[in-house]
Amino acid sequence: MSVASSSVNGGLLRRLRYRYSARLLLSELLGKRWMEPAIPFALMIGLIVWFSMVTTNYATLGNAQQLGREFAEAGFVAIAMALTVISGGIDLSVGAVFALANLAALVFFQLYQWPVGLVIVATLAIGAGIGAINGFLIGYMRTRPFLTTLVTLIVLRATVDLLGQHFSIPLAMASRTSWTWDVLGVGWIAKLPSNLAILGIVAIVGHFLLSRSRPGWHLTAIGSSRKAARHAGIRVERVLFLTYVMSGTLAAAGGLFYAARLQSSGSDTGIGWEISALTAVVLGGVSLAGGRGTVARALIGAVIVFVLVNGLVRMGFPGALSSTALGAVLLIAVGIDVKWAKNRGKAIQKIYVNPTMVELPPSPSITADGGTAFAENTRLQASEEIGLNQVQGPEDIILDRQDRLYCGTREGWVLRFSGPNFEHREVFARIGGRPLGMAFDRDDNLIVCVGGMGLYGVTPAGKIYKCTDQTQRSLLKLNDDSRLRLADDCDIAPDGTVWFSEATIRYEMHSWFLDGIEGRANGRLIAWNPKTNKTRTVIKNAVFPNGVCVAHDGRSVLFCSSWLCTIYRHWIEGPKAGQTEVFAENLPGYPDNLNRSSDGGYWLAMVGIRSPTFDLMMRHPDVRQRMIKQLPPDEWVYPGINNGCIVKFDESGRALESMWDPGGTKHATVTSMREHKGWLYIGGLENNRIGRVRLPDADPAWNGCDAYWGAKS
C-alpha cells in the first residue's frame, strides 16, 4: 500500500506524471552494472537481425550451427584477451599462441600419433607454458604487458613459421583420423557444435569465476589499481601470473579446436587475431584501462566482430574494405569506451534525482506569539552539555537501566557515557556504517539501525551481532531493494518484533538530503521478527520514513514521513490491524525521531523547519529538475535542516508543547530525544554534544526500559 501523497490538489494526470517518471527508469537502468554492455548487446542483436534479413539462408538452424562452429575458436581467444585486459594488461600473443597450439596439436596428433587425450593435455600445456613466461615477466618482473607480449608474439610467430616449414610437407600428406579427434573438430554436444558447447561451458565457469569469486575479484581489483590491490593485501604477482597462464591456456584451447576442425597448418593461422580479439573485447565493453569487464561482455564483442566480418564477406564486400570496417569499429569502440567510462557517472548524476510533486498546506505558525503549540521559545538553550566535543553527530541517544547514555557517531561507533555527570566516555561497540536509531530489547540488547549496513544488535557485554540486512525484493523495481541501504530508526513491539524504517532505497547515507529534493516515496517500514529471523517489508512507497515508535499500548506503530511533514499510525493489533492512518499532519517542520514520554504522549524531534520557498519548490518538480541540471549542487535549494525543535504530542496526535533553541547555538540540529528519569536527553545528527533539559512536571522515576519491558530487579 502507498501513503505517498496524502494531500490532494492539482490534476491527477500531473501527479501521475511525476509519480511514474521515464527518467527515473532510465537513471536506474544506467546505474545497473548489467546495463554497461547494453549498447553492444543491442548492436549484436541488431547485426544478427539485419544479416538475417539481407542474406539468404542466414536464419536457418544449419547456418546458425555452422556459424557457431566457426565462431567458437575466436570466442576462446577473445576470453583470453579479456582476462588480461581486465587485469589491467594486454596479451598480444594470443593469436600466436593460437597458431602455435594449432600446429602443435596437428604435429602431436598426425605425426607423433599420440592419443587424443595426450594431444589435448600437451597442447594446453604449451599454451599454459607460454602464458607462464608472459605472467612471470609481467607479474614478478613487472615488465610492461604491451611490450612483453608483443615480443612473445614476434618470437612465437617466427617459431610457427620455422616449424611450419619443417612440418608442412609431412602434415599435408598425413591423414590420421580418430573418433575423439573428430568429436573435437566436427562433433556435436547436445545439438551444439562441440567447440561452441565447450566454449559455452568455459564462458559460464569463467563468468562466475570472474564476477562471483574471490580470485576473480582480485583480478578485477588489480586491473582497477595495482597499487591499491597490493595495499589491500592481494597477492598481485601471483594473480597476474595466473591470469596470463589462463590466457595462454584459453588461446591454446582455441588452437586445439581449430586444428581438430580444419587440420590446416597454414602459415597465416592466427595472424591478426589479437587485433580482432582486442576489438571484440573493447567493443563488448571491457575497459582498456582495466578493472571493468566480464566474460559475457567479451563474448558479446566477439560475436559482433564475427558477425560483422562474416556478414561483410557474405555480402561480397572487398576484403580490404572489411578490414577497414573492423578497424573503424575498433576506433569507435575505443572512443565510446573512453567517453562512456568518463561520463556515465555524470550522466547518471544528472538524471538520477527525479523530483516529484509534494503539496503541503500552509504551515502552522511557529512565531513566539502565534499561540500554537509550536510557538518558538528558548527552552532548549538551558540544556546541560554532555560529552561536549567528545562526540560527533549523535543521531540517536538512549539510556539503559543503569542510567548509562548511549549514542551512535559518525565514526560508526556506539559511545557510552557513564558516571554521575556522564563524564566517563567509552567506545561501547564499533559496528561501522552509520549508527542511527536505537532501542533496547527485552534482554537489554541494544538494537541499532546502521545506515549502509542494516539492523544490528549489541549485547550488554558489547558483542555485535547482525539482526538483518535484507528484506524481500520488489519484483518491479530496478534498484535491488533487497539490501537495506539506510535503516533509520527502530522500536520494538511487545512481541519482540523490531519495527524499523528505511528512509530511502535510492540514496546512501552521504546523499540522503537529495531524497529531500526528490520528495519521492522511496522508503519503507520493515518488521524483523527475531524468533523466526524473518524480515518483512510492511509498507513500501513511504516518503522518507524516519522516526519509529511503538505506541504505549503496543497495538500500533507510529512513524514519521519527513518530507510529507506527517506522522502515521500503523496498526499492528486489534480490529484495524494492517491499516495505516494519519496521526498528525501538516507539521511546521520535518519530523525525525519519535519516542514515548512519561505522561503517555510522544516526543518528536523536528530536524528542520519548513520554509514557504521550499514548500513552493516542492509543488513544482520542474523547477527543481531545472535547478539540479543547471546549478552546481552547493547552490541548490534544500529542505531546511539546520534548526529544529522538540514537540510533544498526546496519544491522539495533538501537539501540546514545543522546545526551541533559536539560532541553534547549542542544538543546531535536533534529530532525537529520550526521556529518562525526569530529564529529556537531546541528540543531533550534526552536533558535537548531547544535551539534557530537566522536565519539571515529568515522572522522575519513568524510564524507557521499564516502560517497555517492566522493571527488573
Residues that bind another protein (CB under 8 A): 32-34, 37, 41, 45, 48, 55-66, 70, 74, 161, 164-165, 168-169, 171-172, 175, 186, 204, 207, 211-212, 261-269, 272-273, 294, 296, 299-300, 309-310, 313-314, 316-320, 322-323, 480
C-alpha cell at 207: 563468468
By the 10 Å C-beta count (0-12 exposed, 13-18 middle, 19+ buried), 200 is classed as middle
Short-list 595, 553, 606, CA closest to 695: 595
Distance between CA atoms of residues 28 and 650, nearest Å: 42
Distance between CA atoms of residues 302 and 297, nearest Å: 8
By the 10 Å C-beta count (0-12 exposed, 13-18 middle, 19+ buried), 550 is classed as buried
According to DSSP, the residues that pair with 697 across neighbouring strands are none
By the 10 Å C-beta count (0-12 exposed, 13-18 middle, 19+ buried), 379 is classed as middle
Cα 311 to Cα 40, 325, 414, 470, 514, distances in angstroms: 17, 12, 64, 48, 49
Distance between CA atoms of residues 83 and 242, nearest Å: 10
Distance between CA atoms of residues 105 and 122, nearest Å: 8
Distance between CA atoms of residues 182 and 177, nearest Å: 7
How many alpha carbons fall within 13 Å on the CB side of residue 339? Answer: 6
In single-letter form, the type of residue at position 461 comes to: A
Short-list 460, 545, 533, 530, CA closest to 500: 545
For the sheet containing 413-418, what is the strand order? 397-399, 405-408, 413-418, 424-430
